[in-house]
Amino acid sequence: MKVKDKKTKELPKRQGLVIFSEIENGAGLKKALKIKKEQVVAEISASNLKGRGGAGFPAGLKWKFAAQEKDEQKYVVCNADEGEPGTFKDKVLLSEYAPLFLEGMVIAAYAVGAKQGFVYLRGEYRSFVPALESELKEMKKNNLLGENIGGKKGFNFDIEIRLGAGAYICGEETALIESLEGNRGEPRNRPPFPVNTGYNGHPTIVNNVETFAAVVHIAAKGADWFKVIGTEKSAGTKLLSVSGDCKKPGVYEAAYGISIKEILKMTDAKDVKAVQVGGASGVCVPKSQFDRTIAYEDLSTGGSIIIFGQKRNLLDAAENFLEFFEEESCGQCTPCREGIPVLIEAVKMLKKGECGKEYLKDILSLCETMQLASKCGLGQSCPNAFISIINNFKKDYALSKNSKQEKTFNG
Amino acid sequence: MVNECAVPKKIIKGGKEVMVCDETRSRLLPVLQDIQDKKGYISDKNMQEVADMFGIHPVEVFSVITFYSFLSEKKKGKHIIRVSNCVSNVMAGSEKIVKEFEKVLMIEIGQTTKDGEFTLERTSCIGMCNEAPAIMVDDKLIGKVTPQRVKKIIQEQKQ
Ligand SMILES: Cc1cc2nc3c(=O)[nH]c(=O)nc-3n(C[C@H](O)[C@H](O)[C@H](O)COP(=O)(O)O)c2cc1C
Ligand code: SF4
Ligand code: FES
């Protein structure tokens, strides 16, 4: 696939083993349409492709569940809400590789039997809408979208672009569906899962932009080709968006199994103190663990890599992340709504040296409660960065020695 | 299974009670976004109109509006400047950018200029982490902002 010029600036051609590798427009879809739907699902399953949006659910299994549902109306949703701090890899796909991930959605529609698709695009990326719309038109002209797609009688599928409106939580798939339905973006209880009861009560698959992009390559080049890339448990590659204290921030495609050390070398980062993997909901990795790797079995991430240089105090980062979550929590459930402000206060106390050992213990047990009892991934994962910073960067804060003054959990 | 009425309905699926709503209701957000776009905010009168259109209570429309930070029931400036305060931006000095905007526009963050031209806000990550500090002006994403560029950015909007 050719990288589109933005007319003024010539974009350097991106390189990678899967997503950024060469492919002809429509090649994946053409091959998929030659085989039965069940075989397409089987091929995606055999490739071991897992979701690239963060949670890592096997894509083939999700599709299989939706395909098995008996319903005239099914939906394919592309999650382009990309809101995790430090993530901008979907932006590259949306702006430079639109034909690719849209084709992935069409393949998904064929596999599960959907007639309608949505791209749920975060409001911040609104400026991409005109280009995406014209791409959809182009696809229709080329019979890659619309009616009797690819000459396949009865295979009709259309895609509509829907905009988010500045709510991070709408990236959570059930909140996203609520938002599509015209409601507040509040996560639903699961089960039922979207594959069974999704948009307007119909079977719906929600996948990340990058997942759809990978699908096209798998359909065109085969599960076996894909599987040998990466590690045994994490097939393929991951787009990494690297930012922070490094000379070459940007989007890189790397095979799963790449170590933090290698990422730092690739992005020309020196004097690094820590690397935040997975954004605000991820973990903060200290230098002693830079041999750890990006993989579902080790450090799992939707793609956010933020580098902290030696001079950074990581409590500041913890505070920033928690303030982000405070702003973005939907407030539906207690552990998340009530827990986050308590964690913020604790960080402030730690920064002033006013937090004692016992109180910190209470706080860490509150973190555990939040991880276990919150309704959705936001509340469950928001203590992660805090915990890893408290455990790994003890030099960044001092505990209060004055035990008499010490605040306890009950006031 | 989709019913034609505009209000969400409870149905039993897989032995569980679930809410479903019809196609019409799902247009609510695009309709609100359209009003927001054209007028810069969604007035009480608009809320009533939209509520009638969808056959729902205005309070429900209001509750949807308040959920989304890009929808507003209060009048805002013609242009909205949003400075990202994510970690990458803060590390790259976004607070200086905020200060400069405050100085040049003579307002504080969260406020609107007297002439109704600009509203200044903070926002989280805008996907410009590699070009920090970054801002959003209306739909435009602008990276590598320096305090020196602030005046020019403001002028460009006025044209
Ligand atoms: C708070 C929260 C925010 C999320 N944001 C996104 C997002 O912006 N993009 C995304 O693809 N997945 C996001 N997810 C994960 C989705 O819920 C879902 O797992 C994903 O879209 C499934 O697609 P995949 O299997 O292809 O990754 C988020 C999850 C949570 C809990
Ligand atoms: S964990 Fe937080 S964001 Fe998720 S449903 Fe509960 S309150 Fe909402
Ligand atoms: S982390 Fe700042 S724009 Fe993404």
Q: Provide the CATH number for the domain around residue A272.
A: 3.10.20.600
Of A40-49, A169-178, B5-14, the range with the lowest mean pLDDT is B5-14
Mean pLDDT computed over A321-325: 97
Residues A177-209 have pLDDT tens digits of 999 999 999 999 989 999 999 999 999 999 999
Whether A405 shows a pLDDT value over 60: the answer reads: no
CATH of the domain at B22: 1.10.10
Min Cα distance A142 → chain B (Å) is: 28
**Residues B88, B59: one domain?**
no
Shortest-distance atom of ligand 1 to CA A209: 11
HSE at residue B84, side-chain half, CA atoms within 13 A, is 33
Q: Does any ligand 1 atom lie closer than 6 A to the CB of residue A53?
A: yes
Residue B1 included in any domain:
no
Question: pLDDT at position A207, please?
Answer: 98
Percentage of residues of chain A with pLDDT beyond 90: 93
Q: Long-range contacts of range A30-36, CB-CB < 8 Å, 24 or more positions apart?
A: A30/A150, A31/A219, A31/A220, A32/A107, A32/A110, A32/A111, A32/A219, A33/A110, A33/A149, A33/A150, A33/A151, A33/A152, A33/A155
Contacts of A88 in chain B (CB under 8 A): 127-130
Scan for tokens 């040049």, then name that residue.
Answer: B104
Contacts of B141 in chain A (CB under 8 A): 124, 127
Residue A368: exposure state from Cβ atoms within 10 A (0-12, 13-18, ≥19): exposed
Residue A267 included in any domain:
yes
Residues B79-119 have pLDDT tens digits of 999 999 999 999 999 999 999 999 999 999 999 999 999 99
Residues A89-123 have pLDDT tens digits of 999 999 999 999 999 999 999 999 999 999 999 99
- Which of A309, A335, A357 terminates a domain? The answer is A309
Task: Give the span between the Cα atoms of A172 and A378, in whole angstroms.
Answer: 8
Of A400-404, B27-31, B64-68, B109-113, the range with the lowest mean pLDDT is A400-404
Scan for tokens 């396949």, then name that residue.
Answer: A152
Residue B62 included in any domain:
yes
The answer to whether the Cβ–Cβ distance between A163 and B30 falls below 8 Å is yes
Q: Output Rg (C-alpha) for chain A, integer angstroms.
A: 22
Contact A335, A381 (CB under 8 A): no
Position A54 confidence tier, pLDDT thresholds 50, 70, 90: confident
Q: Does any ligand 2 atom lie closer than 6 A to the CB of residue A329?
A: yes
Percentage of residues of chain B with pLDDT beyond 90: 79
Mean pLDDT computed over A74-80: 98
Residues B138-154 have pLDDT tens digits of 999 999 999 999 999 99
**Residues A274, A376: one domain?**
no
A353 touches chain B (CB under 8 A): no
| A 5-64 residues inside an 8 A Cβ radius of B | none
Q: Which two tokens stand for residue A246?
A: 């490094």
Mean pLDDT computed over B37-50: 93
Q: Does any ligand 2 atom lie closer than 6 A to the CB of residue A375?
A: yes
Structural domain boundaries enclosing B97? 79-158
Residue of B127, B48, B4 whose CA lies nearest to A85:
B127
Percentage of residues of chain B with pLDDT beyond 70: 86
Position A10 confidence tier, pLDDT thresholds 50, 70, 90: low
**Residues B96, B38: one domain?**
no
Whether B5 shows a pLDDT value over 60: the answer reads: no
Task: Give the span between the Cα atoms of A281 and A276, in whole angstroms.
Answer: 9
**Residues A178, A318: one domain?**
no
**Residues B61, B85: one domain?**
no
| A 113-142 residues inside an 8 A Cβ radius of B | 122-127
Cα dist from A154 to A114, A160, B69, whole Å = 11, 20, 41
Q: Reduced to 3 states, what is the DSSP secondary structure of residue A134?
A: helix
Contact A123, A161 (CB under 8 A): no
Q: What is the DSSP letter of A204?
A: E
Q: Reduced to 3 states, what is the DSSP secondary structure of residue A121?
A: strand
Scan for tokens 């299974």, then name that residue.
Answer: B1
Scan for tokens 């909901």, then name that residue.
Answer: A281
Position A372 confidence tier, pLDDT thresholds 50, 70, 90: very high
**Residues A151, A207: one domain?**
yes
Question: pLDDT at position A56, please?
Answer: 93
The answer to whether the Cβ–Cβ distance between A163 and B68 falls below 8 Å is no
The total number of structural domains in chain B stands at 2
- Mean pLDDT of the residues in chain B: 88
Residue of A317, A98, A251, A312 whose CA lies nearest to B131:
A251
Residue A19 included in any domain:
no
Residue B128 included in any domain:
yes
Question: Whose alpha carbon is nearest atom 30 of ligand 1?
Answer: A172
Residue A336 included in any domain:
yes
Residue B88 included in any domain:
yes
**Residues A46, A158: one domain?**
yes
Q: Reduced to 3 states, what is the DSSP secondary structure of residue A136?
A: helix
Cα A304-A305-A310 angle, rounded to 5 deg: 150
Min Cα distance B87 → chain A (Å) is: 6
- Which of A175, A204, A227 terminates a domain? The answer is A227
Q: Which residue does chain B place closest to A251, by CA atoms?
A: B130
Residue A208 included in any domain:
yes
Task: Give the span between the Cα atoms of A146 and A160, in whole angstroms.
Answer: 11
Residue A403 included in any domain:
no
Residue of B115, B67, B114, B107 whose CA lies nearest to B83:
B107
Contact A217, A28 (CB under 8 A): yes
Question: pLDDT at position B159, please?
Answer: 78
**Residues B117, B59: one domain?**
no
Residue B2 included in any domain:
no
**Residues B89, B62: one domain?**
no
**Residues A96, A201: one domain?**
yes
Whether A228 shows a pLDDT value over 60: the answer reads: yes
**Residues A180, A69: one domain?**
yes
Whether B76 shows a pLDDT value over 70: the answer reads: yes
Question: pLDDT at position A280, please?
Answer: 97
Contact A285, A261 (CB under 8 A): no
**Residues A154, A271: one domain?**
no
Structural domain boundaries enclosing A133? 27-227
**Residues B121, B145: one domain?**
yes
Whether B21 shows a pLDDT value over 70: the answer reads: no
Whether A390 shows a pLDDT value over 80: the answer reads: yes
Position A215 confidence tier, pLDDT thresholds 50, 70, 90: very high
**Residues A218, A97: one domain?**
yes
Position B53 confidence tier, pLDDT thresholds 50, 70, 90: confident
Residue B90 included in any domain:
yes
Task: Give the span between the Cα atoms of A201 and A203, in whole angstroms.
Answer: 7
Contacts of B128 in chain A (CB under 8 A): 88
Residue type, A162: R
Whether B48 shows a pLDDT value over 60: the answer reads: yes
Residue A18 included in any domain:
no
Task: Give the span between the Cα atoms of B141 and A126, in whole angstroms.
Answer: 10
Choose the closest CB to B64 out of A183, A244, A321: A183
Residue of A164, A166, A173, A161 whose CA lies nearest to A136:
A161
Question: Whose alpha carbon is nearest atom 5 of ligand 1?
Answer: A171
- Which of A309, A339, A370 terminates a domain? The answer is A309
**Residues A272, A172: one domain?**
no
**Residues A127, A158: one domain?**
yes
A331 touches chain B (CB under 8 A): no
Whether B37 shows a pLDDT value over 60: the answer reads: yes
**Residues B98, B51: one domain?**
no
Task: Give the span between the Cα atoms of A349 and A372, in whole angstroms.
Answer: 25
Contact A387, A381 (CB under 8 A): no
Residue of A320, A146, A386 whose CA lies nearest to B132:
A320
Q: Does any ligand 1 atom lie closer than 6 A to the CB of residue A174?
A: no
Mean pLDDT computed over B7-17: 56
Residue B149 included in any domain:
yes
**Residues B95, B61: one domain?**
no
- Which of B67, B89, B106 terminates a domain? The answer is B67
Contact A1, A24 (CB under 8 A): yes
Q: What is the whole-number distance in angstroms between the Cα of residue A187 and the centre of ligand 2?
A: 7
Cα dist from B52 to A67, A84, A205, A252, B44, whole Å = 38, 36, 32, 49, 12
Q: Taking CB atoms and a 6 Å cutoff, what residues make up the pocket around ligand 3?
A: A 85-86, 243; B 84, 86-89, 125-129, 132, 134
The total number of structural domains in chain A stands at 3
Residue B3 included in any domain:
no
**Residues A142, A183: one domain?**
yes
Whether B3 shows a pLDDT value over 60: the answer reads: no
Position B10 confidence tier, pLDDT thresholds 50, 70, 90: low
**Residues A248, A170: one domain?**
no
CATH of the domain at A116: 3.40.50.11540
Q: Reduced to 3 states, what is the DSSP secondary structure of residue A209?
A: helix
Mean pLDDT computed over A286-292: 98
Position B23 confidence tier, pLDDT thresholds 50, 70, 90: low
Position B125 confidence tier, pLDDT thresholds 50, 70, 90: very high
Residue A17 included in any domain:
no
Residue A14 included in any domain:
no
Complex ipTM more than 0.85, yes or no: yes
Question: Whose alpha carbon is nearest atom 1 of ligand 3?
Answer: A86
Whether A9 shows a pLDDT value over 90: the answer reads: no
Question: pLDDT at position A410, please?
Answer: 54
